[in-house]
Chains A and B, each alone.
Chain A
Amino acid sequence: MAQLQLREAIRAAMVEEMDRDTDVFLMGEEVAEYNGAYKVSEGMQDRFGSNRVIDTPISENGFAGLGLGAAMCGLRPIIEFMTWNFAFVAMDQIINNAAKIRYMSGGQFSFPIVFRGPNGAAGQLAATHNSSVESIFSCFPGLKVVSISNPDDAKGLLKSAIRDNDPVVFLESEFMYGMRGEVSEEADYLIPIGKARIAREGDAVTIVGHNKSYWRAMEAAEMLEADGYYAEVIDPRTIRPFDWGTVARSVRKTNRLVVVDESNPFASVSSEIAFQVQSRCFDYLDAPIRRVTAKDTPAPYAKNLMTYYMPSAEDTYQACRDVLYLD
């Protein structure tokens, strides 16, 4: 095992896959000469040359479409968005082309492409740079959506995403790029897409959280343990296809569910989880499902408001106490 930052784990995954398969290439803004806006692709241009690590203009719709064309022609592009906030200008390529052409062509074309970049809130970046996009992309059949919470998962899941023959939306986090963690050095270390991870076992309440919210869930679980309650924390890892079985089994055991999700609450991933779990586990619920989400407003800029806007470990802890009827 190696101690790697999350950005290094992502890089390791890309390097390994590019070593393995010459059809794999990386394209995006500042990925080559500048070594990546967040230094994820540091050294990769030196290693693979500017034919396979390609800087693009500031034209997300253009290079997303370029990537899709390449994928249609048999290459396996990795398209980096500097942040997913910028992918909104590439929506037509991602949603109308990436998600639908395989279906519309009767399977004649497939898109072995990964769109990756940091997602979600990243501090005082104000309303347009703090979006969480997982629910937007998850609602279109045809896209796989992966959201990572730690370096090891980043490597194993990105390698799986690159090898996948369908388009994968791969969600990282600015805040977590520097996070260190044990990462497997196993050759062909692949974590399957569509399998959740039970990060912590417990019997009192199930907490589901992905990406940064996974850490809020873990912190809340620690606080609950101090109260004598053992929360089961599940990192779904993949938003779509979602591993309903793992969550449902857990809820049938704990009879309670708290979902932490830093998206805006309306029609979000947490809404879908709450719906799916109540329909699968209705007779097992001893309390209404609770969600801990960002507030239903654009992200504010002011630090105090931003703190208030974001879901916190304390909010999660309190939601758990509520569904446990402790207060």
Chain B
Amino acid sequence: MPIAVEMPKMTDTMEEGVLVQWNVDEGAEIAAGDVIAQVETDKATMDVEAYDDGVLLRKVAGEGDALPIGALIAVLGARGDDVDAFLSQQADHKPPPVATEKPPASPQVSTPQKDALAPAAAGADRAVRIKASPLARRVAADHGLPLYQLRGSGSGPDGRIIRRDVEAHLSHPAAAVTQPDGYESVRVSQMRKTIARRLSQSKFTAPHFYLSIDVDMEQAVASRQRLNSQAERTGGVKVSYNDLVTKACAAALVQHPAVNSSYVAEENEIRQYNYVDIGIAVAIEDGLVTPVVRGVDRKGLTDIASEAAALAQRARDRKLQPAEMEGSTFTTSNLGMFGIEDFTAIINTPNACILAIGAIRDVPVVKGGQVVPGKRMKITLSCDHRAVDGALGARFMATLRGFLEEPLTLLM
């Protein structure tokens, strides 16, 4: 009796998965627990394990197919089982695939480049004949200039491209059209879909407001230097500014638990968490993820530093498991390393707030009536006004600034 292998639900928010790769061939003997395929979910690429022993009789899903949870992806069974009969029986009560995408290995340019030079063949509706004199074609070819780049620039009769048009393009390439009309079609990855859905949902449903504050980082810079030079001597973990901010946020959140919250509309409640799990936005190749450092309020700086570094590395290696990205109570996003002085972030729902961290700038400051060199950093809190009001947010920011300006107080 054949057994259906279905698209598993691999994360709480997963609705569909893309079968990225088959790890076994049809006819292979499978043992329960074998990894038979890889599926890209909204959060990560994950292994699909077989639940039963048997022979992989038929791959129903092709590589690149996007399928909803529960869709049939393969048939397992004993040799000699009638797969076709099983499939027709399955088809009666199984949902069809939501979409079938064949993701290209790399982004695909939809404009036919080679066709542009050739007379219209099979794709006559797409390939538009470009009128050009033989000489113009030859001069363009000699310079490796695809003729379509000259489309519309022909000054001869009926827009014929002639030599002077090619030469004009070659001497002023900037003035001419450098791209074919058209667009590059890049497949929207599961992660991109998730980013799009979640951030739109956040921005459209959570009324954002923003609170910015300038923080004197002189002592934080000095403290970090001391800590890191000591770590260098002892071979300990180095601490980043972000770790320092994460720690300070946790301390401030403990003092302002209303900021460490979620507005849950469906339940008509605001959840104030009695733990502080901070998501840290990490940019990866084609998107971003927010791995979560747990129990930050109860951890020391070195633990935070080593955990955050490990999570960031796993994020970049695309090895984060969904559980490592779920359940934050607050999030930080840091673009200081790009020289961004200040920016506003979109709240990572269901968090009530996100902190946007800018660069530490060397600026002249007035101290005791004297202009002296100073270190300043702008931070901006985005608040979901449904859960956090302006004054509350402002008090949180003042506390946070206090911790950052006097890092020693974090020990209290």
Contact = CB atoms under 8 A, between A and B. Distances in A.
Interface of A: 255, 282-287, 325
B138 interface: yes
Given A255-B163, A325-B162, A285 B156 contact: no
Contact of A282 (B134, B155, B163): B134
A287 B137 contact: no
A255 B138 CA distance: 12
- 4 smallest CB-CB distances across A and B, nearest first, come from A286-B135, A283-B138, A286-B133, A286-B163
8 contacts: A255-B135, A255-B163, A283-B137, A284-B138, A285-B133, A285-B134, A286-B162, A325-B157
Q: Which of B135, B162, B164 has the most CB of A within 10 A?
A: B135
A313 to B, nearest CB: 23
B136 interface: yes
Nearest to A287: B133
B55 to A, nearest CB: 62
Contact of A283 (B135, B155, B162, B164): B135
B136 A286 contact: yes
Contacts of A325: 155-157, 162, 164
A283 B138 CA distance: 6
B134 A284 contact: yes
Contacts of A287: 133, 156, 162
Q: Which of A284, A286, A287, A325 has the most CB of B within 10 A?
A: A286
Nearest to B135: A286
A282 B137 CA distance: 11
Interface in B99-121: none
Nearest to A252: B135
Contacts of A282: 134
Nearest to B163: A286
A284 B136 CA distance: 8
A282 B138 CA distance: 10
A57 to B, nearest CB: 55
A284 B164 CA distance: 13
A255 B137 CA distance: 13
B353 to A, nearest CB: 67
Contacts of B164: 325
Given A255-B135, A287-B156, 9 more contacts: A282-B134, A283-B138, A284-B134, A286-B134, A286-B136, A286-B163, A325-B155, A325-B156, A325-B164
Nearest to B164: A325
A285 B137 CA distance: 10
Contacts of A255: 135, 163
A286 B162 CA distance: 6
A137 to B, nearest CB: 32
Contacts of B134: 282-286
A284 B133 CA distance: 9
Interface string B41-84: 00000000000000000000000000000000000000000000
Contacts of A286: 133-136, 162-163
A286 B137 CA distance: 9
Nearest to B155: A325
Contacts of B135: 255, 283-286
Contacts of B136: 286
Contacts of B163: 255, 286
B138 to A, nearest CB: 4
Nearest to A282: B134
A132 B164 CA distance: 38
Nearest to B166: A286
Contacts of B156: 287, 325
Interface string B6-29: 000000000000000000000000
A255 B135 CA distance: 7
Contacts of A285: 133-135
A269 to B, nearest CB: 23
A320 to B, nearest CB: 15
A287 B133 CA distance: 6
A34 B138 CA distance: 61
A255 B164 CA distance: 12
Interface in B158-195: 162-164
A284 B155 CA distance: 18
Nearest to A288: B133
A121 to B, nearest CB: 31
A279 to B, nearest CB: 11
